[in-house]
Amino acid sequence: MEFVIGGLAATTAGVLTNPIEVVKHQMEISKKCQFNHEYQHFLHRGFKAAKQEGFKSLGKGLSPALGAHLTCYGLKLGTYQVGVNQGFTKDSNGRTIVLNSISASTVGGILGQFLSNPFYLLKAEHHSDEKKRSYSDTAKNIYKEHGIRGFFRGATTSLPRALIGTSQLTSYAVAKETLNTFELFAKNPFFETVIAGLVAGLVLSVTMTPFETVISSMYQQAIAARAPEKYSGYLDCVKKIYKNNGLKPFYKGMGLIYLKLGPHTALLLVFWEELKGVYDNYEKNENTVFDKFGFQFSDVQQEDDQTVLLYL
């Protein structure tokens, strides 16, 4: 159930933050095009898109995005919660053990990132498709040209990002513990979760941006399979980007990345905590009902046969 709750929380957050991802992508395209500087402000671009193309346009890429969230975060949050339930992530005083916390999310994070690669690749290839085919047609084309393995092109490249992604849950746990020492937050757990989630999103953005740069370059190479390869591998890509422009490209667009990861992380963790609370209450109520019936049944068994027959 831990994995279902994690996946449900991620997809719910994904539905609400997908418009941010769409506008972010369009802003990146606008900045790359030297003849198009009409949209230089995030909110302005979102307003223009909704006005010109309708609000439906802000839902582009939602299907593969939800598939990626369900797979990636379902495994990541589920594995982490199992570690929490087993008492692996905290010490005897209830404080987070950083290394254990990272370890608890690493296995699920890596597996989730690898298995969600087909959704990320499908979304990236669809965006670069000049023919503007549907997602199903794009998927069929990938399978036709490369088979099942084609959906996992660039998958190993994203694994370092999965390792860095473990900072999300650990920074959230530490931030939440720190905030809980203040009376204001201790009395307002919802507000505490939101602030801790935004902090976790910031930490994730700072650590993730360099890897996003490399992964984006590698995905573009994977999509342009017929073009000559620029990079022989992950480390070669890092080396060439640094050689050409230094460290600056690795943190380019970090503000836009936080606009995506900040709200998504906060919403993800809020929904995660709320859904866990709902499920815990359900289990408690269910156990109470069973205990109640069990007590009645044991009482009846102590009565004579006639009473038992009347009760039935």
Look at residue 260 and tell me whether its pLDDT is greater than 60.
yes
Question: Range with the lowest mean pLDDT among 67-76, 167-176, 242-251, 300-309?
Answer: 300-309
DSSP type of residue 228: P
Domain ranges of the chain: 2-290
In this structure, what DSSP letter does residue 41 have? S
CATH of 2-290, one of 2.60.120.10, 3.10.450.40, 1.50.40.10, 3.40.1410.10: 1.50.40.10
Write down the pTM of the prediction: 0.71
Which single residue is written with the structure tokens 């970090």?
A: 254
Check residues 124 and 292 and name the one with the higher pLDDT.
Answer: 124
Whether the Cβ atoms of residue 38 and residue 304 lie closer than 8 Å to each other: no
Question: Are residues 208 and 237 in contact, defined by beta-carbon separation less than 8 angstroms?
Answer: no
Looking at residue 95, the DSSP 8-state letter turns out to be -
State percent of the chain over pLDDT 90.
Answer: 14
Confidence of residue 31 (pLDDT cuts 50, 70, 90): low
Cα dist from 187 to 25, 91, 190, 232, whole Å: 39, 23, 9, 54
Smallest CA-to-CA distance from 6 within 66, 91, 72, 58 is with 72
For residue 305, give the H/E element and its range.
helix 305-311
Q: How does pLDDT run across 262-301, given as a tens digit for each residue?
A: 888 999 999 999 999 888 888 777 666 555 555 444 444 4
In tens, the pLDDT along 151-163 reads: 887 777 777 777 7
Task: Quote the distance between the C-alpha of residue 14 and its chain's center.
Answer: 8
Whether the predicted pLDDT of 310 surpasses 50: no
What's the rounded Cα separation, in Å, for the pair 108 and 91? Answer: 22
Helical ranges in 58-116 per DSSP H = 62-85, 98-115
Assess whether pLDDT exceeds 50 at residue 149.
yes
Q: Are 272 and 77 in contact (CB under 8 A)?
A: yes
Query: Over 90: is that where the pLDDT of 62 sits?
Result: no
Tens digit of each residue's pLDDT (9 = 90 or more) over 173-198: 999 999 998 988 888 889 999 999 99
Reported confidence tier of residue 132, pLDDT bands at 50, 70, 90: low
- In angstroms, how far is CA 70 from the centroid of its own chain? 8
Residue 81 is predicted with a pLDDT of 92
The dihedral built from the CA positions of residue 268, 215, 203 and 43, taken in this order, carries a sign that is negative
> What distance in Å separates the CA atoms of residue 161 and residue 27, rounded to the nearest whole number?
23
